[in-house]
Amino acid sequence: MTETNPKTALHAICGAYLLVAYSDGQFAPVEEGRLTSELAADEAFTRFDQAALNAEMDELTKAFPEDYEATALDVLVSIASVKGQDVEKRAVMHAARVAVIADQAISPQEEHALDRIALALGLEKGAL
């Protein structure tokens, strides 16, 4: 198995979080801090420069409101490309779950976003 490009991995991980967070149309910027603090100790994040992580979050935070579906599809391609990498796959799954926890409730839109991520990772619907 080849190692995933760090930019692609960051895109997949940050994108998974934001795909779920933006799915219900209610994303508060304070939620972004939750991802950073929640996943800071995650093994997948220790290999990334904090500035690169922040830049990816900024880029995606601008892209999702402009065109949610196009950005979601782009992110899902990146997620599919990391499904064979255990560390990145776990980080994507964790990031998606953190987005739901941030709301303390799950909407039907968020459930759908989680299912899309699961399928991109080669998992069954409902696996997240």
In a domain, 1, yes or no: no
In a domain, 126, yes or no: no
Interatomic CA distance for residues 36 and 107, integer angstroms: 22
The count of domains in the chain is 1
List, for residues 63-72, the tens digit of each pLDDT value.
999 999 999 9
Residue 48 in domain: yes
With beta carbons less than 8 A apart as the criterion, state whether 21 and 31 touch: yes
Of 86, 106, 7, nearest in space to 96 by CA:
106
In a domain, 106, yes or no: yes
Question: pTM of the entire structure?
Answer: 0.87
Are residues 24 and 106 in contact, defined by beta-carbon separation less than 8 angstroms? no
Token pair listed for 64:
């999702």
Task: Convert the pLDDT of each residue in 78-120 to its tens digit.
Answer: 999 999 999 889 889 988 988 887 666 788 999 999 999 999 9
Structural domain boundaries, residue 36:
6-120
